[in-house]
Each structure stands twice: as C-alpha cells, then as structure tokens.
Structure 1
Amino acid sequence: MADPKNRLVSNVAGNFYVDATCINCDTCRQLAPSSFEEFGEFSAVRHQPEGERQIHQAYQALLACPVGSIGTEQGDKGALHAAMASFPLLLEDGVFFCGFNAKKSFGANSFFVEHPAGNWLIDSPRYVKHLVEAFEQRGGIACIFLTHEDDVADADKYARHFGATRIIHSGDAEAVPDAERILEGLDAVLLAPDFLAIPVPGHTAGSMALLYKNRFLFTGDHLWWDAAQQRLGAPQRLVWRKRVLVDSIQKLLNYPFEWVLAGHGDRIRLTSDEMNRQLQALVERRQITPVLS
C-alpha cells in the first residue's frame, strides 16, 4: 500500500499520489497518461484526474502498479471496484491486457487471448484471485507463451492452477527449466492455428515475439511504441547482442501485423502498411547508428 508520508514532492496537490517506492516501470503512464508523468527517476501525478473516465483510469493504474506505490487520500470503493472489474481489459478481438503487473518482471505488461481452441497467456501478471477467477470464467488457460526470461513472473503458479503448457526459447530456458515446451533455433514456429512464434534474439538470447492472426504482435521487450516520439522503439541498453537485435527487428518486416503489444512501453494499433513503414524506419535508424556488439 502507498504511504502518504512518503508521497513524492513531484506530485501535484490532490487525492491521487505516488510514493517513493515507485520503480518507474511506466505502467501508470500507459493506463492513465492524462494523470501520470515521468519526473526524473519516478512517475508522479501531473494532473489530478477529473471526470469519470480519468478517475477510472487512475484507479486502473493504482491496481496495475506492481509495487503498490499509487495511493489516494480519500478512496472511492465504487470506483476501485469498477476499475478491478475492468481487468482483464479488452483491447480487440478477444485480446486482453491483464493488468496487475508483477514486481518480479519489473512491471511488465502481460496479455490474455481468448480462443475457441484454448486460451493463451502471454507473459505473466501477478497471481491474484481476481485474474484467476476471470480466466476461469473464460475457460482457463491452455498455453503460457513467455517472450523472454525477464517476464516470467508468476507463470509457474498459473501453469499449475490451469494445467497450462509453458513455452519458452532454449536461449532463455534457464528461467523456466521445467517448461513443458522449449523452442530451438531461429526459424518461426507455428505453435497452433493462429499462433506463430518468431525468435527475435537481441535483448536476450531467447527473446521471441508471438504473432496472432497476422494482426497482433506480442513483443516482450523487443519492440514497443514510443508515445513521446510517436514511433516504434527497441532496446538500446540491457542488450545481449546489438547486431543480432537489429537483424531481429528487420526480420519482422516479413510479417504483417497491426498491433504491437509490448511488455514495456506503450501498445499501438496502426494499419498494416503504416506499421511496416514504422518498422522500416526503425531499422534504418538502427543501421546508421554505430553498433558496437
């Protein structure tokens, strides 16, 4: 729980605040961009939320915060319950943002796909009763796709509860040594109808993206939308092999998709053609930037 005694001075006065336990993971800024902003090494309340929509988003951010660093001076139980009920948050076509981001993955986003042949979890949120019950109501979880070693979080708990198959690449398999399915190599693998695993090493040796229905690309920490610069972004630090990363970005030009759904960084939906142009521009930027490893 957030502590008002540790309220950051960068917060504006008012009901919502961020305390000094913030890890600056970006979750709150994604969910409630009108209220939260980055100030140095922390996020803080830039504007107190106004109106039903902004207040709803601020409570969503409060619940999703992986370290509980968002608090209110006067809580609204009705608004809090409504925000909780909104998770998992429907994006489009049976694809959901889970919320309840996990400290174990430094607040990475995770996603849920409702599919008639079996539901999928992409990376893992915190293991919380609300999500367990929500997944149960939608038919459980058949597969858990892990984009890379950093965002495993509570995948083992969800796998045990639902009897799900965990999928990870051998390059990162030390994070889940007892995974039910370990992929090898650099070739794309059709895991099931509509689900294509695309190895994209670079950030880590075993990073993978998951392409769903040729529309939704779950990218882990390989690729994201940079809202400030209005363009696609990719890691420039904490990178296993920089040259390999550029090759992996370029590989994605071979696939059509409309959504980028990232572990860290904003999600975005564009037309397939515009997404391809954005991806090509990212490749060109990286190719002219000196690559040291």
Structure 2
Amino acid sequence: MILSFAPPRSQCLGPSSSSSSSSVAAADPRRRLPSTRASLNRERRAPKHRPQSASSASPSSPAAAAAAASSSLSYGRRRRRRPQNVDGDFFVDTTCIDCDTCRWMAPQIFMRVDEMSAVFKQPANEEERLKALQALISCPTSSIHTEKPAPDVLVAHETFPIPIDEQKLPGVYHCGYHSEKSYGASSYLIVRAEGNILIDSPRYTERLARKIEMLGGAHSMFLTHKDDVADHKKWRERLGCDRILHSEDGSVCLLYKPLEVIFTGDHLIMTPTGLSIVERYNRCSVTAQLNSVEKLVDLDFRWIVPGHGRRIEFKSSLEKDLVLKEFVQQKSSQFAYI
C-alpha cells in the first residue's frame, strides 16, 4: 500500500502499523534473510576467539599466557591476506563475508574471486586510492587493509557522508560505515528543509554522527525492513530522530518525489548481473513479491537506490517501466512451475 509520510513531499510503500491511509497494495511480502547467510559465513570464516587483552590475562599464569598466545595466533591466521589479492599495499583478508560493498564502491580496485572480494588492481592515482580507502572504512567486517599505515585514511573519513550525485541528486548522501549486523547494507541520508531523513542504519560511529549533525542531523529514521536496522537504537539516542517502521514481514520502499528517486531496501536490488529480488533468501511467495515489483511501474521515478548493491539511473520513466516489466515477465516465467 502507499502510505502518506510525515513530511508531505515523501511517500512510503508497504505495510505500517501506525498509519491508516492507503490506496494501492505495493508491499514486499517476502523477507530476505541475509543475517542467516552472514552468520553461516562468520561461523566458517570469522575468528571464534579474540586475542585476550593484557588487562584480562594474568601475568603470573603460564597457562593464561599460553592460551592468549594461541588465541592471538589463531586470530592472525584467520585474518591472513587472501592469496587472490594482487601484490601491493591494499588487500582483503580471509574474514570477508562476500557482501559486495567494496566491489560497487571501488570497482576499479576490487572484484569477486572464489566467493570473496579481492584486490585485482592497486590504486593508480589519488582518486582510486580515495575510493579504496572509502571502501576500507565501509567494510562491515574490517576485512580490507593496507600493508603500511595509511595516514590519508583520516582524509577519507572526512568525506562521509558521500554525495551520490550533487547535480542530479542534490542533498542525497551515502553514509558509508556499513554494519555487519545488516550484512553490509547501505544507509542513506536525504538532506531537506522539512527535516533530514536517515534511511536504514549505518554502523554507529561518533565521527559519522558529528558529520550528520553538521548536515542538519536527522528528523526521521526510515527503516525498510527488520534485517537492516543494525544500530538504529544508538542513532535514535544520538540524533533524537523518530523511527518509522512497520510491524509486518517484508520490506517497504521510500519514494522521494522531488528528485524522482526510490529507496528500495531489499525489495529490489542491483547485482553485477542485473536486477534481483534475492529470491534465494525468500521464505515467502515469489509471485506476490513480483506483483509488488510490478506496482512500481505506476510510480514516477528515475533512480533506484537499493539497500545492497549498485544504484541505477534510468534515462526516463518510460525506460524504467520497460525494464521493470521485462524483469517481472522474465522472473514470472522462471518461477511459473516452482
């Protein structure tokens, strides 16, 4: 359904327990389960034990010292540099959860190799190095490193939130600082006179909170679905923003009419191979979800900004309609007998 959003120039799509106005059913009835995949990846790849700190270990206990050394060695082995990386300063370690963040933030540097990310080319100029550092900062599992300390990483921190396109989407920012709690989902900020909107939750950091405050803070936090809420409580406490959420399963989308952009959460995303409804993690009706995607054809927008993956700009609403119709038709045929 289409629900009126508190600031009058925005709309949200989907179910809500706090609103009674509705006209068209357009909710995503499925719920993707990235947390399940992330937990499986973490169980397989992430360290089960962190190195014991000096303050907690007993210096008089040889057993404790041995245990700490063993734990540290085990952690170091799991954090080792992947051999799939090219030689050079930047590299991805073996704790990568294959969330794709670095690959769309810095496609000139990172690519997918053997179900994880890897550096396939070292930065060749300042612009590429900045993008690599931004990806390093945004990696939800801190799996990207440099062989030598990078003093310019502080400069990269100061670039967040990053404007998406200052000419075509003025006032729309990518927050970065992706969270492992949301399997590396993207969070965005819309800066507007009526009150800024924070879409889904980035990883909480005081540095990012100060930068968001410099842009006017956040009047509202729009949570598209339960998997991408991450540190929403901390952001609520820090920014004092109202949280807009729904009680039912599925995702909701935020349509921001002034810029013809829709934020789709996990309802519809863009992968390297094209549009996706991430049906692999769908526990509900794929048909109902495709019916929901089809309803987007009736809305006026030219940008899709998803919770995961690449952003899409269409040349016109007509092109958007044709692409979505073709996608729905293709997927409907694929799942007709499932």
Q: TM-score, normalised by structure 2?
A: 0.73
RMSD of aligned Cα (Å): 1.8
- SS of corresponding position for 1:28: helix
Greater RCO, CA 8 A, separation 6+: 2
CA contact 2:79–2:94 (8 Å) conserved in 1: no
* C-alpha displacement of 1:206: 2.8
Instruction: Give 2:154's match in structure 1, choosing from 81, 92, 116.
Output: 81
Cα distance change of structure 1 residues 136 and 227 upon mapping to structure 2, 3 Å threshold: same
- SS of corresponding position for 1:237: helix
- Give the aligned partner of residue 319 of structure 2: 274
Establish whether residue 110 from structure 1 lines up as the match of residue 187 from structure 2.
yes
Give 1 or 2 for the bigger CA radius of gyration. Answer: 2
- SS of corresponding position for 1:161: helix
Establish whether residue 150 from structure 1 lines up as the match of residue 231 from structure 2.
no
Letter in 2 for 1:63: I
* C-alpha displacement of 1:39: 1.0
Letter in 1 for 2:106: A
- Give the aligned partner of residue 6 of structure 1: 80
Deviations 1:227-261 (A, max 9, x none): 344xx222221113211111111011110111111
Letter in 1 for 2:264: T
1:97-246 equivalences in 2 (<5 Å) = 97-171=174-248, 205-213=249-257, 215-229=260-274, 232-239=275-282, 240-246=284-290
- SS of corresponding position for 1:59: helix
Deviations 1:76-127 (A, max 9, x none): 312x122111110111210101000001000001100101111110000001
Cα distance change of structure 1 residues 62 and 97 upon mapping to structure 2, 3 Å threshold: same
Establish whether residue 283 from structure 1 lines up as the match of residue 328 from structure 2.
yes
- Give the aligned partner of residue 61 of structure 2: none
- SS of corresponding position for 1:50: coil
Cα distance change of structure 1 residues 54 and 2 upon mapping to structure 2, 3 Å threshold: farther
- Give the aligned partner of residue 143 of structure 2: 69
Instruction: Give 1:264's match in structure 2, choosing from 290, 308, 311.
Output: 308
* C-alpha displacement of 1:2: 9.1
* C-alpha displacement of 1:41: 2.0
Deviations 1:176-218 (A, max 9, x none): xxxxxxxxxxxxxxxxxxxxxxxxxxxxx23101000261110
CA contact 1:2–1:71 (8 Å) conserved in 2: no
Alpha-carbon separation, structure 2, partners of 1:116 and 1:212: 14
**Please, which runs of 5 or more residues in structure 2 have no aligned partner?**
1-74
- Give the aligned partner of residue 124 of structure 2: 50
Cα distance change of structure 1 residues 137 and 5 upon mapping to structure 2, 3 Å threshold: closer
Deviations 1:41-95 (A, max 9, x none): 21010111111111111000000000100000123312x1221111101112101
* C-alpha displacement of 1:291: 4.3
Letter in 2 for 1:245: Q
- Give the aligned partner of residue 5 of structure 2: none
Normalized per residue, the structure richer in strand is: 1
Letter in 2 for 1:167: I
CA contact 2:270–2:308 (8 Å) conserved in 1: no
Cα distance change of structure 1 residues 40 and 13 upon mapping to structure 2, 3 Å threshold: same
Q: Report percent identity of matched pairs.
A: 40
- SS of corresponding position for 1:156: helix
Instruction: Give 2:296's match in structure 1, choosing from 228, 232, 252.
Output: 252
Alpha-carbon separation, structure 2, partners of 1:109 and 1:82: 21
Alpha-carbon separation, structure 1, partners of 2:188 and 2:108: 23
CA contact 1:223–1:233 (8 Å) conserved in 2: yes
**Please, which runs of 5 or more residues in structure 1 have no aligned partner?**
172-204
- Give the aligned partner of residue 8 of structure 2: none
CA contact 2:84–2:113 (8 Å) conserved in 1: yes
Establish whether residue 39 from structure 1 lines up as the match of residue 116 from structure 2.
no
Aligned residue pairs total 257
Structure 1, 80-89 or 141-150: larger mean CA deviation: 80-89
